Amino acid sequence: MSEADKPTVKPEGEAKDSGGEISRRDFFNEVAIAALGVAGLGAATVTYRYLSPNVLFEPPTTFRAGNPDLYPVNSVTYITDQQVYIVRTGAGFYAVSAICTHLGCITQWKPEANQIQCPCHGSKFREDGTKIEGPAPRPLPHFSITLTPDGDLLVDKLETIKPDKVLKV
């Protein structure tokens, strides 16, 4: 038998053979590379989330409620996007939260009953926010209300004030 006739023997784990099959070693190498890629992607995602600022985009707490002449005397006006009632009496203006002090439902002004009522569990309030009945533990808070230099009403929902304070215009 000549040297050319002898069969060649590949060591175990050598590169792909000519039939398109891969060796066990190559298979495990590719699995390991894929696992490292997945782990790297996960680590990059966690790092990105960690480095991104955690910012809550909330609407401003101060808002203009327009010219006082927009509000008739003895009126209650609900400002929908601010969840605040602007109340005008003969004495002046005040701003009352529309968020129920029980579990945070949005109350509704009921002119026929002359009350602010909560649709969730039935709490009722006077137009000045004092509680009439129901499970609400506290009256509706009053917010600071002032005039801007150009004469608009300005409500600050971060500043609660005593309910007897009224903005005289």
Tell me whether residue 135 or residue 163 sits nearer to ligand FES (CB atom): 135
Tell me whether residue 108 or residue 148 sits nearer to ligand FES (CB atom): 108
Tell me whether residue 66 or residue 134 sits nearer to ligand FES (CB atom): 134
Binding to ligand FES, residues 107-126 (CB under 6 A): 118, 120-123
Both tokens of 82, joined, read 């601010």
Tell me whether residue 68 or residue 141 sits nearer to ligand FES (CB atom): 141
Question: Which string of b and e fits 51-75 if b means at least 16 CB within 10 Å?
Answer: eeeeeeeeeeeebebeebeebeeee
Tell me whether residue 120 or residue 132 sits nearer to ligand FES (CB atom): 120
Cβ atoms of residues 65 and 153 within 8 Å: yes
Separation between Cα atoms, residue 165 and residue 74, nearest integer Å: 16
**How many residues at the interface with ligand FES, by CB under 6 A?**
12
Q: Which of 68, 75, 77, 105 binds ligand FES (CB under 6 A)?
A: 105
E-strand stretches of 36-165: 62-66, 75-79, 84-88, 93-97, 108-110, 115-117, 124-125, 131-133, 142-147, 153-161
Burial of 78 (0-12, 13-18, 19+ CB in 10 A): middle
Q: Which of 65, 96, 100, 155 binds ligand FES (CB under 6 A)?
A: 100
Q: Indicate whether 102 belongs to the interface with ligand FES (CB under 6 A).
A: yes
Q: Indicate whether 135 belongs to the interface with ligand FES (CB under 6 A).
A: yes
Q: Indicate whether 98 belongs to the interface with ligand FES (CB under 6 A).
A: no
Q: Indicate whether 136 belongs to the interface with ligand FES (CB under 6 A).
A: yes
Residue 4 in 3-state DSSP?
Answer: helix
Positions in the binding site for ligand FES (CB under 6 A): 100, 102-103, 105, 118, 120-123, 134-136
